[in-house]
Chains A and B, each alone.
Chain A
């Protein structure tokens, strides 16, 4: 019985596939709208290995990674700077919260004017959204550094810079990774939406949109699953990096 427990995570997947197959078999939904799982995964396999889907997948990965890296490079140092002084953070808190709450998609037209049609717009809008999420988390991570730990460093004679570098920075790392994971998820959302609309010719968003326009349902579902797998994979990647480098997180 105990040995069977390792299969628990697959139960949900199996149930979903069963319900899906049953729905197709019983013709509850028009087969044009809902292809069978087999047809969908076949479309996905063919698309990823020899078709356009693989190319689009790579495009979206590259854009998402670019925007997350740009966001991290800007937001992490800035977050540390803002977080190290509660007064400074309080004075810009409203701006950060306001733009963090503004849907990044509302910024597309503005960025289109600034950067024109092309990768630069998609990447910069996504970076903008991700940067605010990362910034907010890093700043809070630094601000919520354990007071005792900071006192301990001070009592051992550490200067302000040293406390910031040796204690606050490391204290903020678990929260920074929360920010990075949320940031990369948001960047992916924004990139995919951007690929659907603004004069795009490639990317997963474009693939989903085009398949829908051509009424090629297996291709559309395949592209949706590819996007899901990408989001899940990126989250898993960051979790793995976090476990490796922030070994003390949650302990």
Chain B
């Protein structure tokens, strides 16, 4: 069994260097199993996350949306199964993770600038280069916040923007966001959606977003993964290919409305099954 797994890993590692595989899925999830004391959340779950796309994960409450990205990002251990990034394990790649609770994920003793630079410090990057790279990401994203402030001196949206920049400063191959806007008020959420879209257009980083807001999920995504109640299955992988930048007008286009309605129908069917 272990021998077969090893052989499969060597084979998939070899594929990375084959240029025909560049359009291959970025993340491959195979046989993922996760049990909590009272429930099986994932049972032999297989899924591929496409490269360079923004994929949203949507599903009924408690179906394991956040658990999925937490396992992919290594925050929770898996009970069984394998998650590979271009055939490599997590510790071989650079990734960014944005928490829902920005207030507890930021370091209040560091100024915003040093918060963003922190992952580079951990990686042993020199002070000069750290500064240069933070300046670069700030310029790329065209962010207009006073980064000399401490997180607690900023609004919620600004803090979450800082925490997204902190995730992006390492030039991640993949970016995870766990309900990043759900702790913000509506006005700020709308603003942050635009920021998120701009960041994605600028960087084209493979992005996985857990959302509990269907409108947001469809609006921002190229792909929407609809999960069933646990043990979670991929009920459908909806494509939404409206051109970017999407605007308020996108929300009233027929394509958007029908995609959203379709997702909602599947969602409600899954909810009723429970």
How many angstroms between the C-alpha atoms of A146 and B108 in the bound complex? 12
Given contacts A148-B104, A167-B107, A248-B108, contact A156 B122 (CB under 8 A): yes
Q: Is the contact region of chain A dominated by helix, strand, or loop, or is it mixed?
A: helix
Q: Using Cβ atoms and an 8 Å threshold, which residues of chain B touch A166?
A: 107, 118
User: In this assembly, does B231 line the interface, its C-beta being within 8 Å of a C-beta of chain A?
Assistant: no
Contact flags B99-125 to A (C-beta < 8 A → 1, else 0): 101001111110000000011001100
A residues less than 8 Å from B105 (CB atoms):
148-149, 151-152
Whether A247 sits at the interface, judged by CB under 8 Å, is yes
**Residue in B97, B99, B108 whose Cβ sees the most chain A Cβ within 10 Å:** B108
**Residues in chain A near residue B75, CB distance under 8 A:** 151, 154-155
Give, as a whole number of angstroms, the nearest-CB distance from B132 to chain A.
19
Complex CA–CA separation, A155 to B150 (angstroms): 21
In the assembly, what is the distance between CA of A43 and CA of B68, in Å? Answer: 74
Beyond A148-B99, A157-B119, whether A251 also contacts B108 by CB under 8 A is: yes
Which A residues are CB-close (under 8 A) to B109? 170, 173, 247-248
Chain A 151-175, CB-CB to B under 8 Å as 1, else 0, gives 1111111100010001100100100
Q: Which residues of B contact A158 (CB under 8 A)?
A: 122
We find that the number of chain A residues with CB closer than 8 angstroms to chain B is 19
Beyond the given A148-B105, A156-B170, please list 5 additional residue pairs across the A-B interface where CB-CB is below 8 A. A154-B75, A156-B118, A156-B122, A157-B122, A166-B107
Q: Give the dominant DSSP class at B's interface.
A: loop
Docked complex Cα distance between A40 and B166 (Å): 61
Q: How large is the interface on B (under 10, 10 to 19, 20 to 34, 35 or more residues)?
A: 20 to 34
Considering only residues 195-225 of chain B, those with a C-beta below 8 Å from chain A are: none
Instruction: Report if A146-B104 is in contact (Cβ < 8 Å); known contacts: A156-B119, A157-B122.
Output: yes
Residue of B74, B99, B108, B152 touching A152 (CB-CB under 8 A): B99
Kindly report which residue of chain A lies nearest to residue B104, judged by CB atoms: A148
Q: Is B188 in contact with chain A by the CB < 8 A criterion?
A: no
Do residues A157 and B123 form an inter-chain contact, with CB atoms below 8 A? yes
Which of chain A's residues have a CB closer than 8 A to the CB of B170?
156
Give A88 Cβ to nearest chain B Cβ, in Å.
23
Chain B residues positioned under 8 Å from A148 (CB to CB)? 99, 101, 104-105
Give bound CA distance, A170 to B106, whole Å.
Answer: 13
B147 contacts the other chain (CB 8 A): no
B192 at interface (Cβ–Cβ under 8 A)?
no
**Roughly how many angstroms separate A248 CA and B154 CA in the complex, as a whole number?**
13
What's the Cα separation between A155 and B99 when bound, in Å?
A: 11
Let me know if A155 and B97 touch, CB within 8 A: yes
Judged by a CB distance under 8 angstroms, whether B78 is at the interface is no
Q: Which residue of B lies closest to A155 (CB)?
A: B97
A-B contact pairs, 5 of them (CB 8 A): A148-B105, A151-B105, A156-B119, A158-B122, A166-B107
Does B141 make an interface contact (CB < 8 A)?
no
Residue of B nearest to A251 (CB): B152
A156 to B117, CA, bound (A): 11
Name the interface residues of A136-195: CB closer than 8 Å to any CB of B.
Answer: 146, 148-149, 151-158, 162, 166-167, 170, 173
